[in-house]
A and B are shown apart, each in its own frame.
Chain A
């Protein structure tokens, strides 16, 4: 189980406080999140299931490379931050 922490703007469509979810990689983690928060996926991923250009995800304090984001491994105890990238304005 990894702990998911959302940027404030996402707390109305995702967990308002830090919560733990299962998953061996970020895609599995997002799928688990979608059970409780079905709207969240559309805020993070586009129509083709790609990470939105101005969304940044951090695992264990490091920003995940965009082109590998969804397959990025997640380990038990990791903190996963779902953030808005400053590039988005």
Chain B
């Protein structure tokens, strides 16, 4: 089991460690600054960088834009590195007034070779081969004609919040966009196909319900052990795919199929966790009863898990990246907008409250 957890919040990055059975804050970095995304891991492929660990934290400074920081010593020291930048608009046509600019880094994911991907608002996917010292816009996705139909979900601009790198081949990529659908590449981002067959959009007029490029997948996860299996927590439901996103099937959960976060067991694709809420304008637990739902059979049934979770009216909401499972499937971590952090070491049957006095949470990740 991991004894270390990173928590990204509205007020900085927390490094929590378990010592003698008790979790505590070991370090607080970027104090007061909003974390928007983070990633930690190491290069796995053979080469001179094999085993080199990297931590990356994206900040969304209220006044001074998006910043990215990298640590090569597990958070003991940090260096500000480059952020993705959108190309200069054509001044001769007057486009510069409307030209895109980086608003937020919403997802970071590196492959086993050390190639780093960043999903951003307003909908650009970027790649770095030097751990953030330089970035290139993925033109193939950015130039998709249907991008003009994408729109913001929760933010003014569309954003890429989920990047799944297939463990069988790091050039097989699947990304999810709010609101722009699910896109796949089999050639390292050289070309893309939208893959939302079976999803539908309740929030659109009937003529647009099946339009792939207006779907709002809130979060996309891939089962590491059976990578043809994916789960999506969508704006109006839960969808699963067992054929590498070629088709999606909707499943229903109680007390609600609305939410933001989803986690899938790394070896058991039929097993997934969700944090339900009342949809759209409310965004807090159904009947103020905070629960986690888990399916063990691919969505035929869901069990509401509440042991250790609030037994009084709750307004906790768990954002997209704030529910995590470790790579062995032994531990779950979950943090809320109300500043609660819970852990479970028995598949969510019981939860341990680590703290209820943290800032609003954005993301959690085990350090392994």
Interface residues of A (CB under 8 A from B): 9-10, 39, 42-44, 46-50, 52, 54-55, 84-85, 88-89
- Given contacts A39-B80, A42-B83, is CB(A50)–CB(B64) below 8 Å? no
The answer to whether B62 touches A88 (Cβ under 8 A) is yes
Main secondary structure of the interface of A (DSSP, over half): loop
Additional 11 contacts, C-beta under 8 A, given A46-B65, A52-B65, A84-B64: A9-B64, A43-B61, A43-B65, A44-B64, A46-B101, A47-B88, A47-B100, A48-B99, A49-B96, A55-B64, A89-B62
Out of B63, B89, B96, name the residue touching A85 (CB < 8 Å).
B63
Q: Which of A10, A42, A47, A89 has the most CB of B within 10 A?
A: A47
Contact (Cβ within 8 A) A54 B62: yes
A49-B95 Cα distance, complex, nearest whole Å: 13
Cβ-defined contact, B64 with A10, below 8 A: yes
Show 21 A/B contacts (Cβ-Cβ < 8 Å), sorted by A: A9-B64, A42-B83, A43-B65, A44-B64, A46-B65, A46-B102, A47-B86, A47-B101, A48-B89, A49-B88, A49-B96, A50-B96, A50-B101, A52-B63, A52-B64, A54-B62, A54-B63, A54-B64, A55-B64, A89-B62, A89-B63
Interface readout for B207-221 with A: 1 if CB under 8 Å, 0 if not? 000000000000000
Task: Report Cα–Cα, A55/B96, bound state, in Å.
Answer: 19
Residues on B with C-beta less than 8 A from A52 are: 63-65
Interface range on chain B (Cβ under 8 Å from partner): 10 to 19
B63, B65, B85: most-surrounded residue (chain A CB, <10 A): B63
Scoring B residues 76 to 94 as 1 if CB is less than 8 Å from chain A, else 0, what string do you get?
0000100101101100000
CB pair A84–B63 under 8 Å, yes or no, is: yes
Q: Count of A-B contacts with CB under 8 A? A: 48
Q: How far is the CA of A42 from the CA of B64 in the complex (A)?
A: 8
Chain B residues with CB under 8 A of A55: 63-64
Please give me the residue from chain B that is nearest to A67 by CB atom: B97
Which of chain B's residues has its CB closest to A42's CB? B65
A48 lies within 8 A of B96 (CB): yes
Residues of B with C-beta under 8 A to A42: 64-65, 83
Contact of A9 among B63, B86, B89, B101 (CB under 8 A): B63
Who on chain B is nearest to A39 by CB? B80
Are the C-beta atoms of B62 and A48 separated by less than 8 Å? no
With a cutoff of 8 Å between Cβ atoms, the chain A residues found around residue B96 in the complex are: 48-50
The distance from the CB of B213 to the nearest CB of chain A, in whole angstroms, is 24
Q: Which residue from chain B places its CB closest to the CB of A50 in the assembled complex?
A: B101
Judge whether B85 and A47 touch: CB under 8 Å.
yes
Q: Which chain B residues lie closer than 8 Å to A50 at the CB level?
A: 96, 101
A contact residues around B62 at 8 Å (CB): 54, 84, 88-89
Select from chain A the residue with minimum beta-carbon distance to B100. Answer: A47
A84 CB, nearest partner CB in chain B, Å: 4
How many angstroms between the C-alpha atoms of A48 and B87 in the bound complex?
Answer: 8
CA distance A38 to B331 in the complex (A): 43
Given A39-B80, A48-B89, A49-B88, A88 contacting B102 (CB threshold 8 A): no
B103, closest chain A residue (CB): A46
Task: Report A82 CB to chain B, min CB distance, Å.
Answer: 10
A24–B288 Cα gap in the complex (Å)? 60
Interface residues of B in 53-72 (CB under 8 A from A): 61-65
By beta carbon, the residue of chain B nearest A7 is B63
- B101 lies within 8 A of A88 (CB): no
Alpha-carbon distance A77/B86, docked complex (angstroms): 36
Q: Which B residues are CB-close (under 8 A) to A9? A: 63-64
Task: Tell me the bound Cα distance from A42 to B88 in angstroms.
Answer: 14
Known A47-B101, A48-B101, A49-B88: A88·B65 in contact at CB below 8 Å? no
Note all chain A residues with C-beta closer than 8 A to B85.
Answer: 47
Could you say which residues of chain A place their CB within 8 Å of the CB of B65?
Answer: 42-43, 46, 52
Residues of B within 8 A of A89 (CB): 62-63
Closest B residue to A45 by beta carbon equals B65
Contact across chains for A43 and B64 when beta carbons are under 8 A apart:
yes
Q: Hey, which chain A residues are within 8 Å of B102, CB to CB? A: 46-47
A48 contacts B64, C-beta separation under 8 Å: no
Shortest Cβ distance from B214 into chain A, in angstroms? Answer: 26
CB distance from B17 to the nearest CB of A (A): 28
| Complex alpha-carbon distance, A49 and B83, angstroms | 15
B23-64: which have CB < 8 Å to A? 61-64
